[in-house]
């Protein structure tokens, strides 16, 4: 019995090889086992042209940044809905890698601490703190209002508002011999953009606080005023105030 098993296994192997040899003799391609490969990521392509994603599936990111100093810091990351997990937030200049629309979202997600901003006491009790999807909806509605009223690309209007509301000079405290004095200094491009985003967010909260106007309407109104250089814009008022204090400190 021990000798019959190897003989039977050899016979079975010969029977399995015989159809392969017959197929090779007849010049028939024998299918080989191919390792399964991962499918490449599908991207929308029309007749060989790669389609760029649109913001909220409506607005193009093909805009112009006229301010040369802000051009390297305004990241126009193309995404339909700007939402990412910023893991490198502790690294230097990591904000450059965050899209400018998402940075506006982060500026609006501020907690209402009850501080006085622009003569108004803000007590929102953190209603937008951590509510990123809610803030995305507010920005989408605001951009729709801007597009309806102006007929322009709201992304371009937003970039123009940031350029107009970014101050060039600021003051800092210098202590010399026990005497503290204010000295005018130039502002880096990164801080200019931070101040502009912060003022736009403050203007949105102030415009909707204790008012029948919604957050989306307040944001759209501030963007249109700042992009046109209107003096009624809160961000432009703050910019002029900062630069006026810097001029007086010279």
State residue 143's pLDDT score.
92
Question: Which pLDDT value is given to residue 7?
Answer: 47
Q: Mind listing the pLDDT tens digit for each residue in 182-209?
A: 888 888 888 999 999 989 988 888 888 7
Distance of CA 14 to the CA centre of its chain: 65
Domains and CATH numbers, the chain: 45-248 (1.10.455.10)
Contact criterion met (CB below 8 Å) for 132 and 110: no
Distance of CA 123 to the CA centre of its chain: 27
- Residue 170 region by backbone torsions, left for phi larger than 0, else alpha for psi between -120 and 50, else beta: beta
| Low-confidence residues in the chain, pLDDT < 50 | 1-7, 9-11, 13, 16-17, 20, 23, 28-31, 34-36, 113
Q: Are 101 and 55 spatial neighbours (Cβ–Cβ below 8 Å)? A: yes
pLDDT confidence of residue 217: 92
What per-residue confidence (pLDDT) applies to 94? Answer: 78
pLDDT of residue 219: 92
- The phi and psi torsions of 214 (rounded to 5 degrees) equal -80, 170
C-alpha 161/C-alpha 239 separation (Å) is 12
Helices (H), 68-183: 68-71, 100-108, 132-150, 154-164
Distances 27 to 2, 13, 17, 20 between C-alpha atoms, Å: 40, 22, 16, 11
What integer pLDDT is reported at residue 23 of this predicted model? 47
Residue 77's nearest CA partner among 105, 116, 107 is 105
**Terminal-residue alpha carbon distance, the chain:** 108
- Residue 131: the pLDDT is 83
Which stretches of 29-187 are assigned E, i.e. beta strand?
45-46, 49-50, 116-117, 120-121, 169-176, 179-186
- DSSP lists the bridge partners of residue 185 as 170
């Amino acid at each position: 019995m021990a000798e019959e098993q190897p003989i039977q296994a050899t016979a079975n192997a010969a029977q399995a090889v015989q159809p392969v040899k017959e197929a090779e003799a007849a010049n028939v391609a024998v299918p080989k086992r191919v390792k399964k490969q991962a499918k490449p990521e599908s991207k929308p392509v029309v007749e060989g042209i790669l389609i760029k994603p649109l913001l909220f599936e409506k607005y193009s990111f093909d805009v112009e940044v006229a301010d040369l100093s802000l051009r390297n810091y305004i990241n126009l990351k193309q995404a339909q809905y700007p939402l990412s997990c910023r893991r490198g937030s502790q690294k230097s200049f990591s904000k450059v890698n965050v899209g400018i629309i998402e940075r506006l979202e982060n500026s609006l997600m501020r907690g209402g601490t009850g501080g006085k901003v622009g003569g108004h006491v803000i007590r929102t009790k953190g209603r937008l703190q951590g509510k990123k999807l809610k803030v995305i909806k507010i920005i989408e509605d605001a951009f729709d209002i801007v597009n309806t009223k102006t007929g322009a690309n709201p992304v371009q209007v937003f970039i123009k508002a940031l350029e107009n509301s970014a101050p060039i000079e600021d003051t800092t405290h210098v202590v010399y011999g026990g005497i503290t004095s204010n000295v005018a200094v130039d502002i880096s491009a990164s801080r200019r953009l931070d101040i502009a985003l912060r003022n736009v967010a403050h203007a949105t909260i102030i415009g909707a606080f204790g008012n029948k106007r919604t957050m989306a309407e307040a944001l759209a109104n501030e963007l249109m005023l700042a992009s046109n250089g209107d003096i009624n814009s809160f961000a432009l008022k703050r910019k002029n105030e900062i630069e006026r204090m810097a001029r007086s400190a010279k």
